[in-house]
Amino acid sequence: MTDAEYHALAEAALARVESAIDALDETTDLDIDCRRTGKMIELVFADGSKIVINEQPPLHELWLAARSGGYHFRYSDGQWRSTRENAEFFALLSRCVSEHAQRSVTIEA
């Protein structure tokens, strides 16, 4: 993958996270503050806990840090996949958001 391809795919993933969190904010009573700074998104929950998602351009990865740990994702076969457990990015993000929000949340790819 070229750097340009990586940047386009990573930006699309971050934009999807932003729009999904905005949609949750509009359609549910969840209190999640989505803050975007450049190539990083910080999700701040009502209890003060955070999830941080950011690009790692030198490695062509996305990183996610949550209460449950840190995860690295590489793009493969049309999806961002965890390098450790091969979990799909949005499925794992849904799991982490659910943990922080203390209720079931699904974020679609």
E strand or H helix at 8: helix 3-27
Whether residue 85 lies inside any domain: the answer is yes
pTM: 0.92
Range of 73's domain? Answer: 3-101
Instruction: With respect to residue 93, please indicate whether it lies within any of the assigned structural domains.
Output: yes
> Does residue 107 form part of some domain?
no
What CATH number does the domain containing 95 carry? 3.30.920.10
Q: Are 31 and 38 in contact (CB under 8 A)?
A: no
Number of domains in the chain: 1
Mean pLDDT by runs of 10 across the 109 residues of the chain is 96 96 87 93 95 97 96 96 96 96 87
Compute the radius of gyration of the chain from its Cα atoms: 13
Q: What's residue 75's pLDDT?
A: 97
User: CA end-to-end span of the chain, whole Å?
Assistant: 21
Cα–Cα distances in Å, from 12 out to 42, 58, 61?
Answer: 16, 18, 13
